[in-house]
Amino acid sequence: MRRFKSLMIMVICAIMVLDSCKKGSDGPVSPGPDEPNPPTTGVSLNFPKKEMRAVWISTAWGLDWPIGVYGETQQKLAYIAMLDKFKLLKINTIFFQVKAMGDAFYNSPYEPWATSITGVRGKDPGYDILKFLIDEAHNREIEFHAWMNPYRIATRAGSSSSYPVLHSSVKPDWVVSHEKIQIYNPAVPEVRTRLADIIKDLIGKYDVDGVHFDDYFYPDPSGAGQMVSDQADYSKYGQGYATIEAFRRANVDQAIQGVHDAIVATKPSVVFSVSPAASKDYNYNTLYADIAKWCQQGWVDLLIPQLYQEIGNKSNDFQTNLSIWSQYNYTAALVIGHAIYKFGDATQASAFQSTAELEKQFDLTKKNKKSVGSALYSAKYIMDNKIGISDKLASLYRDPAVIPFMGRSVLPMPGNVGGLKVVGNKLSWGKLEGMKAIVYYFSDLKAEGTVFAVTDASEISITLNGYYCVSFLNKDNKEGKVSDPVKF
């Protein structure tokens, strides 16, 4: 009897294994953002963690760029100087604000040219500014993600000032004008359609690597001043929702899902990211943004919480929030936002008067199993380098990094590396068109490796004794099999 039971258990286990194989046979499964490097053909190596290294470039009120500079030549030179600095610091991604105030940094059928470009809202700058921005980033192997504020149209000090005239395509009943902020009304279905249409227009015309939303959804009452009641919206559209709060969250949910679906239908390789405020509860209860739901549903590819408080902050501790978000990112890649703007500002906490705080935050971020990088707010403060914060970045980002895969792959997997060899002080391999090569270095085969280079070339000069191996990387950031190491 015992032998029969044992035999039956073995048969059941075998059936379960076969069934699980069938369930996984419907098609290739995209790896998560924290997937380890593909194995080498014959040697087990300790590869460095993939890492997004990003900077936000804010254009609202010209904060980071163009900072009141209105000439094309001067604007281009200032932008190039920023990118050259970022390249030197081995930063591999920028989030550039192309829609800050119901406006655009490109010729849009939906919104006027941004005021910060020329000083006049709606004035054409005379050149394809977004193509220039993207091309210069890509020329330096820096990803370009188009940062958009989904709802904000304008701000003002108070009701004594007027909001700017709405774009001709905007119907007045799509808009809510609170005392200090004017927004697209999240409750109106046409607004959600318009937002998706804006995204489709952008990604259809420009080679952006991602679309990015910040944390402005329903406005925070503390900053909006006297607010217009949305009770009428709830009465008109809110059937089926037990509370007005649930109705508001559902409105934002539908907008996020609509943008995700528009991206997948138009250009699925584009990464969709959101950067919520530090507190998960604040997003949920005040901005009506159910971030965890978006991640769980797969509507967001990349989550970048703005953890702008110091380690040990009594009300919003960096380490606590890091732990919380790493529990609720689900399938979304997790990148952590850091407040570079606070370093060296005498009005901020004492922790921000030393670059040691950034090093501690980076250390916690890298040790977190879910996180795959950092984003820095914002560009201006990297250029200012107060208290040597950019010098600290240079030491923290000593070696290059490989951006993790974090979206939908539409390209074939990269092939294997062939012909890898060392001749003199040159490491060379067979080039694969359309692919970048990742060169890894290991001081010995038991040590953790580093990224030596990410390059379009098929050879590179080497000087460090040890072991080198190479893999190919496609434009979706999918990595092929890593070669066996060669010794130098």
CATH assignment of the domain containing 233: 3.20.20.80
Q: Taking residues 10-22, what's their average pLDDT?
A: 36
Residue 378, helix vs strand vs coil: coil
Contact 247, 241 (CB under 8 A): yes
Q: How confident is the model at residue 33 (pLDDT cuts 50, 70, 90)?
A: low
| Residue 176 and residue 59 share a domain | yes
The DSSP code for 339 is -
Nearest alpha carbon to residue 98 among 6, 214, 192: 214
Report pLDDT for 353.
Answer: 98
| Residue 380 and residue 418 share a domain | no
Report pLDDT for 15.
Answer: 36
| Residue 457 and residue 309 share a domain | no
264-317 confidence digits (pLDDT tens): 999 999 999 999 999 999 999 999 999 999 999 999 999 999 999 999 999 999
SS3 labels along 403-433: CCCCCCCCCCCCCCCCCCEEECCEEECCCCC
Single residue among 396, 419, 449 that ends a domain in this structure: 396
Joined together, the tokens standing for residue 234 give 């709830």
Q: How confident is the model at residue 29 (pLDDT cuts 50, 70, 90)?
A: very low
Report pLDDT for 44.
Answer: 85
User: Considering the domain boundaries, does residue 41 fall inside one?
Assistant: no
Q: State the amino acid at position 485 in one-letter form.
A: P
User: Considering the domain boundaries, does residue 472 fall inside one?
Assistant: yes
| Residue 439 and residue 376 share a domain | no
In angstroms, the CA 386 to CA 396 distance is 16
Tokens 């604040």 sit at which residue? 282
Q: How confident is the model at residue 240 (pLDDT cuts 50, 70, 90)?
A: very high
| Residue 317 and residue 436 share a domain | no
Contact 60, 97 (CB under 8 A): yes
Residue 173, helix vs strand vs coil: helix
| Residue 73 and residue 131 share a domain | yes
Is pLDDT above 80 for 111? yes
Residue 337, helix vs strand vs coil: strand
- For 482, the domain range is 411-488
Buried b (16+ CB within 10 A) or exposed e, 288-301: bbbbbbbbeeebbb
CA 96 to chain centre: 11
In angstroms, the CA 377 to CA 147 distance is 13
Nearest alpha carbon to residue 129 among 104, 103, 105, 156: 105
318-328 and 356-367 helices cross at what angle (nearest 10)?
A: 20
CATH assignment of the domain containing 486: 2.60.40.10
Residue 306, helix vs strand vs coil: strand
Is pLDDT above 80 for 26? no
User: Considering the domain boundaries, does residue 283 fall inside one?
Assistant: yes
In angstroms, the CA 116 to CA 22 distance is 56
| Residue 430 and residue 321 share a domain | no
Beta strand extents in 64-159 (DSSP E only): 93-99, 143-148, 152-155
CA 252, 159, 181 angle in degrees (round to 5)? 20
In angstroms, the CA 110 to CA 95 distance is 21
| Residue 385 and residue 361 share a domain | yes
| Residue 421 and residue 387 share a domain | no
| Residue 335 and residue 442 share a domain | no
Report pLDDT for 409.
Answer: 87
Q: Is 150 left (phi over 0), alpha (psi -120 to 50) or beta?
A: alpha
Is pLDDT above 60 for 21? no
| Residue 129 and residue 170 share a domain | yes
Per-position DSSP letters for 177-230, written without gaps between them: E-SSEEEE-TT-HHHHHHHHHHHHHHHHHS--SEEEE-S-SSPPHHHH-SPPP-
Nearest alpha carbon to residue 80 among 383, 400, 475: 383
User: Considering the domain boundaries, does residue 317 fall inside one?
Assistant: yes
| Residue 133 and residue 237 share a domain | yes
Contact 417, 429 (CB under 8 A): yes
User: Considering the domain boundaries, does residue 183 fall inside one?
Assistant: yes
Report pLDDT for 18.
Answer: 37
Nearest alpha carbon to residue 322 among 365, 378, 353, 265: 365
Report pLDDT for 39.
Answer: 55
Contact 15, 457 (CB under 8 A): no
Q: In which element (H, E) is residue 76 found?
A: helix 72-88
Contact 199, 268 (CB under 8 A): no
User: Considering the domain boundaries, does residue 42 fall inside one?
Assistant: no
User: Considering the domain boundaries, does residue 350 fall inside one?
Assistant: yes
Joined together, the tokens standing for residue 332 give 């979304």
Q: How many other C-beta atoms lie within 10 A of the C-beta of residue 220?
A: 15
Quote the number of domains for the chain.
Answer: 2
Contact 245, 233 (CB under 8 A): no
41-82 confidence digits (pLDDT tens): 567 899 999 999 999 999 999 999 999 999 999 999 999 999
Single residue among 337, 363, 396 that ends a domain in this structure: 396
**Bridge pairing between strands 459-461 and 333-338:** unpaired
Contact 340, 377 (CB under 8 A): yes
Per-position DSSP letters for 423-486, written without gaps between them: ETTEEE----TT-EEEEEEESSTTSB-EEEEEESSSEEE--S-SEEEEEEE-TT--B-PBPPPE
User: Considering the domain boundaries, does residue 46 fall inside one?
Assistant: no
Contact 263, 272 (CB under 8 A): yes
Single residue among 396, 427, 460 that ends a domain in this structure: 396
Q: How confident is the model at residue 192 (pLDDT cuts 50, 70, 90)?
A: very high
Q: In which element (H, E) is residue 372 found?
A: strand 371-377
